[in-house]
Amino acid sequence: MQSQKIKYYLGFICLIIHIGCNFSTNSEIQAPSFIYTEFSHPVLSPNGEEILFHWFKPSGFNDENHPITDEDSCGIWSYKPATQELNFIYAILLPTRMIFTPDGDSVIFNDLYNQGKIVIMDRLSQSKRVIPGNTGGASTTISNDGSYIAYNQYTEAGKPLIIIAKVDGREYKTLSRNGTNVNGMYPNWFPGNHRIAFMSNLDYSISAIDTSGENLSVLFASGTANFFGLSISPADGRIVFTYLDCIYTFNSIGENMTKLSSSFGRFANWSFDGKRIIYTSPSEQPIYHNQNAIWIMNDDGAEAFQIYP
């Protein structure tokens, strides 16, 4: 059973990061010709002064121009644009979603080397504790008031359940509707802390549902597997995601869909004030050819710029 759980976690990670690597007959990993996916899951701190991201070095990747060269330093990194300070935070090979608590004092993520246990790490002391009561999962997110978390947990059949709990691990429950568990990935909280949006890889849709299991609605049906990621603006509930390799937004009821980028973009996340979006896209610097980078743009897609490296 343990091996099955590991298999499902690994399968999920490969799905959400879309590594796109192919294995040749000599077992060498061939990186995509257009982009490496070493940077993922960038997130801005509530005050906008710090960026956290996961860095993953693809097997066989060797580029002396890369800003991070130590292949043993795969994990969570911190970057402060004002001072250009770069610090290694936590070693974890598998890419994982990270979120700041609303006060900015802590970071929450799933330790996929520890059965997906949910970890809260203090940003100053870097001390870590596991949220009690959780049995592990992926894609943990926190409500805007900082009181509840939602995350994915996978059944032995590989179906993604949505789990809701107090941030201290109490009041644990599986989100269900009319007695049937809701299957969905990348749960995110709307402002107000009583409604969640999620993605489905069964019908390639984005849906929303109350935490009580009522008022389920489909916000967007993509009709294709080429859609990715999900983040909700804490300010007004707008949703940002990747569709056909570009970044789009729509409002909390699935209307006013707007294309923000005309080039490849993924891992889009809102700033806490809802005015900016951080994401990954190919680097515009020739020295970092065939590598992706971390970008920031306004909420309407204007003034996009590469912030790191």
Report the alpha-carbon distance of residue 195 to residue 137 in Å, rounded. 20
Cβ neighbours of residue 11 closer than 8 Å, sequence gap 6 or more: 158
pLDDT of 14 above 50? no
Report the alpha-carbon distance of residue 284 to residue 269 in Å, rounded. 20
Cβ atoms within 10 Å of 22's Cβ, excluding its own: 10
Q: In what order do the strands lie in the sheet with 227-232?
A: 227-232, 239-243, 246-250, 258-259
For residues 204 and 221, is the Cβ–Cβ distance under 8 A? yes
Q: Kindly list the distances between the CA atom of residue 60 and the CA atoms of 66, 142, 292, 302, in Å, as whole numbers in the listed order.
A: 14, 36, 17, 36
pLDDT at 24 (0 to 100): 27
- Tell me the average pLDDT of the chain: 83
Looking up tokens 């390639």 gives 204
Mean pLDDT of 110-133: 88
pLDDT of 226 above 70? yes
pLDDT of 123 above 90? yes
Condensed to tens digits (0 to 9), the pLDDT of residues 73-98 reads 788 999 999 999 999 888 887 778 89
pLDDT at 34 (0 to 100): 32
Tokens of 89: 């935070």
Q: Which tops the pLDDT comparison, 64 or 103?
A: 103
Condensed to tens digits (0 to 9), the pLDDT of residues 22-65 reads 222 222 323 233 344 578 999 999 999 999 999 876 555 555 55
Percentages helix, strand, coil for the chain, rounded to the nearest 5?
5, 45, 50
pLDDT of 229 above 80? yes
Nearest CA to 206 among 191, 221, 195, 216?
A: 221
| Residues 271-274: contacts with CB under 8 Å, at least 24 apart | 271/44, 271/48, 272/44, 272/45, 272/46, 272/48, 272/100, 272/102, 272/234, 273/48, 273/234, 273/235, 274/233, 274/234, 274/235, 274/236, 274/238, 274/299
pTM higher than 0.75, yes or no?
Answer: yes
Report the alpha-carbon distance of residue 196 to residue 188 in Å, rounded. 5
pLDDT at 61 (0 to 100): 54
Tell me whether the omega of the peptide bond preceding residue 309 falls within 30 degrees of 0, making it cis: yes
Helix, strand, or coil here: 10? helix
pLDDT of 199 above 60? yes
Q: Which of 45-49, 128-132, 169-173, 284-288 has the highest mean pLDDT?
A: 45-49
pLDDT at 92 (0 to 100): 84
Nearest CA to 277 among 297, 300, 254?
A: 297
Looking up tokens 């971390």 gives 294
Phi, psi of 98 (to 5 degrees): -125, 150
pLDDT of 169 above 60? yes
Q: In what order do the strands lie in the sheet with 106-111?
A: 98-100, 106-111, 117-122, 128-130
Condensed to tens digits (0 to 9), the pLDDT of residues 38-50 reads 789 999 999 999 9
Continuous segment of H or E residues that includes residue 267: strand 266-270
Q: Which tops the pLDDT comparison, 240 or 11?
A: 240
Q: Which of 5-19, 209-223, 281-295 has the highest mean pLDDT?
A: 209-223
Catalogue all structural domains in the chain, each as residue range(s) with its CATH number.
Answer: 2-19+38-308 (2.120.10.30)
pLDDT of 146 above 80? yes
**Partners of 278 in the beta sheet?**
269, 296
Look at 135-144, 174-183, 241-250, 269-278 and tell me which has the smallest mean pLDDT: 135-144
Looking up tokens 């997110």 gives 141
